[in-house]
Amino acid sequence: MSQDIEELQAALRRFADERDWGQFHSPKNLAVSLSLEAAEVLEHFQWLTEAQSRTLDDARRQAVAHEIADVLLYLLQLSDRLGIDPMQAAREKLALNAERYPADKARGTSRKYTEL
């Protein structure tokens, strides 16, 4: 696992321990919180056009950055609780996606792998 990720997970454990929040950090609760925070990222793009979504002003970009951080932090806490190395899981998923979506068949299309 990446040293940066391990350090961040350790910092999150300390943060939760200092507040006695571990009791609330079941995998279910962390997964729910992760989903809610992801929705908060989405909220910043609600009603924007495609072009507007590509050119956020500084204030909105910073707000989105904070929501992305919340998503990442909950994801790291969830993976820590479940004993999953998120970097290894990401590498495995990328390899699986490369098999499911061969470039010669997937290039330029948004179809699902079962439709290629």
Residue 55 sits in a domain of what CATH number? 1.10.287.1080
Cα distance between residue 48 and residue 2, in whole Å: 36
Average pLDDT over all residues of the chain? 96
Q: Domain count for the chain, please give it.
A: 1
Q: Model-level pTM? A: 0.89
Alpha helices (H) in 20-102, listed in sequence order: 27-43, 50-54, 58-82, 86-100
**Within a domain: 32:** yes
Q: Is the pLDDT of residue 1 over 80?
A: no
Q: Is the pLDDT of residue 79 over 90?
A: yes
Q: Is the pLDDT of residue 51 over 80?
A: yes
Residue 113 confidence class, pLDDT cut points 50, 70, 90: confident
**Within a domain: 99:** yes
Residue range of the domain that includes 78 = 26-106
